[in-house]
């Protein structure tokens, strides 16, 4: 029979191991809060064996910090021992026998890690060595439980042991979920603290999402289009003439499109953020943008959309009225009687409604929304990058944005 004091000692030693593993885990991510703890034990960073081990390939297993795995191991082991303390004598012996096996496994792993430090890295992490106290000390303290090892093979779940083991497994799974969540949070914090790494992270994520995005098929027959008619890269922009970001994107396109228009086309579709013609919106963001969008449809009918596009955006209106659309058309050199007649036509309203419906079909909720070869971008600002991605995929020369 394993005495209670041995179990308490084992739990204490294992919790020390868990604490040290936790410190190593935070140190792995460069958390400044633990530097004052680590440096006295490890020495200066430049000559520290801890730093050598930390930077080695052995500091991770499958992309996860070895210290995080150690923290989970010790946490799960201490949970098992705590449950064993609460169980009756027979259940306790089964729990302690299992804990002894886990400690023995930990000792073997510690010996392997010690061998790596001695023969492969030729450097020792003193904090790592101290953390081994948990498994080694636990193993020594629980040695009397070896007499119950046979019960694990004969009837591991007999006499209520199922409850103890079930509680341990459930608790370990909760602990594992906590460790995974904490690791992901630490990674995110580490990335965001470095602007260069943060930008690379967002770029990599954006490219991955774009490559796996749904490809939408849009009817561009009546959409005003600039660039090569049969361009291998087709950009579609859902826009609002009163949207400041759309205005900036339109100005940028004026510089970007000419050098790349041999293999890139730009098509425009209206998506005014105005409930008077887009009633499914939760609220009106740009009052009067429906007038400007109807004007765009009428300008397209006269083959003068892009001059109208320029004059409408150059007006930089916060709100618009019918006269504002008429004024933009006049500056763009349209046939005014024909334009004003078109502006009030039901056919024009139906064409605008089709643009809005197309936007809803591809998930447009705000402007500008950009699609490249049918794939919707998370951020309009990623457009140059995704054009490069598509250029590379199609074997075209990379399209570089103007400097």
In angstroms and rounded to an integer, the radius of gyration of the C-alpha atoms of the chain is 33
Contacting residues for 320 by C-beta, under 8 A, at least 6 apart: 241, 242, 286, 287, 288, 289, 291, 292
Instruction: Assess whether pLDDT exceeds 90 at residue 87.
Output: no
Unique residue bearing structure tokens 């020792």: 124
Which residues of 240-367 form beta strands (DSSP E)?
264-270
Q: Cβ(261)–Cβ(228) under 8 Å?
A: yes
> What's the sign of the alpha-carbon dihedral 251, 256, 260, 263?
negative
Q: Look at residue 12 in the predicted model and tell me its pLDDT.
A: 95
Confidence of residue 160 (pLDDT cuts 50, 70, 90): low
pLDDT tens figures, 229-241: 789 999 999 999 9
Q: Look at residue 200 in the predicted model and tell me its pLDDT.
A: 72
Instruction: Assess whether pLDDT exceeds 80 at residue 101.
Output: yes
Q: What predicted TM-score, i.e. pTM, was given to this entire model? A: 0.58
Domains, the chain, in order of start with CATH, read 4-193 (1.20.1440.130), 225-394 (3.40.30.10)
Alpha-carbon distance of 400 to 263, in angstroms, equals 13
Instruction: Assess whether pLDDT exceeds 50 at residue 126.
Output: yes
- Looking only at Cα atoms, what is the longest distance across the chain? 102
Alpha-carbon distance of 232 to 346, in angstroms, equals 35
Residues 288-304 have a mean pLDDT of: 97
């Amino acid at each position: 029979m394993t005495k209670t004091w041995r179990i308490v000692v084992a739990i204490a030693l294992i919790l020390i191991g868990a604490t040290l593993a936790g410190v190593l885990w935070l140190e792995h991510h460069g958390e400044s809060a633990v530097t004052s703890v680590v440096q006295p034990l490890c020495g200066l960073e430049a000559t520290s064996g801890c730093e050598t081990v930390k930077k080695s390939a052995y500091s991770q297993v499958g992309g996860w910090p070895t210290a995080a795995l150690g923290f989970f191991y010790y946490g799960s082991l201490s949970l098992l021992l705590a449950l064993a303390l609460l169980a009756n004598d027979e259940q306790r012996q089964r729990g302690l026998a299992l804990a002894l096996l886990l400690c023995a496994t930990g000792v073997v792993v510690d010996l392997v890690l010690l061998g790596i430090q001695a023969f492969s890295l030729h450097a020792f992490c003193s904090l790592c060595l101290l953390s081994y106290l948990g498994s080694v000390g636990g193993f020594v303290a629980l040695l009397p439980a070896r007499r119950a090892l046979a019960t694990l093979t004969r009837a591991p779940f007999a006499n209520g042991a199922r409850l103890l083991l079930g509680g341990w497994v459930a608790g370990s799974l909760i602990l594992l979920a906590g460790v995974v969540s904490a690791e992901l949070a630490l990674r995110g914090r580490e990335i965001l603290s470095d602007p260069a790494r943060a930008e690379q992270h967002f770029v990599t994520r954006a490219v991955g999402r774009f490559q796996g995005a749904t490809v939408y098929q849009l009817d561009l027959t009546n959409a005003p289009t600039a660039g090569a008619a049969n361009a291998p890269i087709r950009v579609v922009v859902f826009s609002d003439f009163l949207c400041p970001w759309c205005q900036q994107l339109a100005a940028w396109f004026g510089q970007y499109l000419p050098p790349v228009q041999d293999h890139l086309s730009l098509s425009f579709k209206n998506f005014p953020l105005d409930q008077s013609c887009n009633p499914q919106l939760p609220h009106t963001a740009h009052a009067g943008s429906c007038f400007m969008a109807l004007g765009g449809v009428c300008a397209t009918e006269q083959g003068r959309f892009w001059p109208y596009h320029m004059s409408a955006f150059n007006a930089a209106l916060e709100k618009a009225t019918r006269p504002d659309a008429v004024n933009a058309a006049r500056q763009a050199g349209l046939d005014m009687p024909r334009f004003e007649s078109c502006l009030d036509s039901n056919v024009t309203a139906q064409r605008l409604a089709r643009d809005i419906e197309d936007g809803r079909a591809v998930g447009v909720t705000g402007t500008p929304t950009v699609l490249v070869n049918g794939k919707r971008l998370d951020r309009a600002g990623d457009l140059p990058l995704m054009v490069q991605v598509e250029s590379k995929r199609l074997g075209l020369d990379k399209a570089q944005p103007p400097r």
